[in-house]
Amino acid sequence: MSSATGNEIPTGLAMDAQAAVGAVYDLYDPPLWLVTATDGRVRGGLIATFVARASIVPDLPRMVAGIAKHHHTWGLIEASGGFALHLLYPDQLELVWRFGLESGHQADKFAGLATETTPSGQPRLPQALAWLDCRVETRTDTGDRTLYLAAVTAGGAAAETTPLTAGRLYRAAPPEHRATLERLYARDGEIDTEAIRLWRARRANP
């Protein structure tokens, strides 16, 4: 069974349906976002693709970010109620390796980096292409991650250029980093699968 109606719990898609959905996803190349946060004592950051603009009102800008709950940065966002978003230049792959291939549970990802702070006190990387200061307004638990709707309170861009995207990163990654990206993606997929299934089961049987 690959779909559900009524109160049935959705199960995994059949292979042909997976391929069809994958073809839709392949039509766009989302920008990579570097998300940083601090609880006032510890700093952290990660690379995210689940980030989107959530308002067209110029004086009320908002963003949505989906952060997996097993990441170190998730706990910092929960503690501080805010985060900073960064877009990267296409050649800033080293920042991706630093913030995307290591875990903040074991390493200080900011070691040796020049940093500043946003007006709200979140870590900011001045070498990034652009940044946004975000204050969480509400959150939604989706099982594998938390969706944060955040008010954008400040921001800036260093230049007008196309930022680094997921597709660009994958094409530019050397073989050893590409293999690591694929391994971590598969690992996160397994974690997310279990979290989504448990979340759906709890909703079906409160």
Residue 2 has pLDDT above 50, yes or no: no
Q: Return the closest-CA partner of residue 36 out of 80, 73, 88, 87.
A: 73
**Region 69-83: what's the mean pLDDT?**
96
Domain parsing of the chain, residue ranges: 29-204
Q: What is the mean pLDDT of residues 59-75?
A: 96
What pLDDT score was predicted for residue 206? 78
Predicted confidence band of residue 104 (pLDDT cuts 50, 70, 90): low
* Span 29-204 CATH architecture: Roll (2.30)
The pLDDT confidence band at residue 142, using thresholds 50, 70 and 90, is very high
pLDDT, average across residues 22-48: 95
